[in-house]
A and B are shown apart, each in its own frame.
Chain A
Amino acid sequence: MAADRDFIELIEQIAGWTGPVTNSLSSQDDETKPTALPFTLVERSETEWLSSLCGTEQDVCFCTVVVTFVARKLAQARRMADAARPSLAAAADALESEGSNYDAGLRGHYVQQQYRVFDRSPNV
């Protein structure tokens, strides 16, 4: 399974996890209502393919998976990030960075982790 789907499964398996985990943002059904918090967004961003003179190896790649934990309070977003980090870092090749900020559009705080992952089935 592709790396982003694997990450979603790993997060959903954490005991007591709250809020939806998705790999894309849905359109807002009602513009008068803010997005329900908390939620977790798993995005697969950059992909780096391995190429040799024989061609590009299409069954494997390195990709960057960005996981964003969004909650009303910064402390809650941090707790979510702390809870997910051990299993995600174990599944990834490396946890490259982690940072936090406030998103005015979502009216919530977020913690964002960036992982580098060797993906064996990138087309799924």
Chain B
Amino acid sequence: MSILVNSDTKVIVQGLGRTGQFHTDKAIAYGTRMVGAVHPSKAGTVHVFEGQTDASGVPGRDETYRVELPIFRTVREAVAETGANASVVYVPPPFAADAIMEAADAGIELIVAITEGIPVADMVRAKRYLEGRSVRLVGPNCPGVITPRECKIGIMPGYIHTPGRIGVVSRSGTLTYEAVYQLTKLGLGQTTAVGIGGDPVNGTDFVDVLAMFEEDPDTDGVIMIGEIGGTAEEDAAEFVKSEMTKPVAGFIAGMTAPPGKRMGHAGAIISGGKGTAAAKVAAMEAAGIVVAPTPTDMGQAMLEALGR
């Protein structure tokens, strides 16, 4: 078991530009079931992906792959033709929110939005549009979702992951890789790793993912990686305290971040004295979460949490 994605997940890509092509190729090499693309100006053609299979990906495949990916004008057409249930969005920022809403309208169950730099107002509208629909949005401005050796949706390097029983959820891309790499080195594989993204308005927050890991029988513990800005980590700590039985470890980036400055991510800003790392660490520790003192100790913190 796992959460969000597995070997049955059928994925379309929205936005088959240079970035979309690059990562679609990596996903196919990993063994993700990429079934189609939406890119109106190339609709009606196929894009051929071929190369060496990623040995760290889905097992039992040939050493090379060749896929003719059909390209559609709309998500609706792509879903009708391919039966896709998930979508990954690489559409450029001015059009990305529209792409997200199009996917929701077409009945896609899981939308993973990688695009960085979507206007906040667009995401506010998109999130409102998604309300009441049976769709989950992960991101935007995130690395994506991976269930090791089953399905990789997004831009993370596949080979650092290994199957196992730890859930990973994070606002930061490279810190997720750091955590996953440490877990793998300690022999702690992952059920699923979820990047929820660094934007102030996102589709899925810590609490959503923690709840899914709590329900997942194959997840034994969770590591959550937060950063300054907003109160999602405090809300997550509250949830861990009241609702979770599984051990949780964590880390917060931005202890030394000056207030009022946006630290790379649109959402990483301490404003009006709110969203400090110290407040988040305090809330997490009060909820019984083992917080790593440095990012190098994230794997160890998970071990410690499991041993408690």
- Are A and B physically bound partners? no
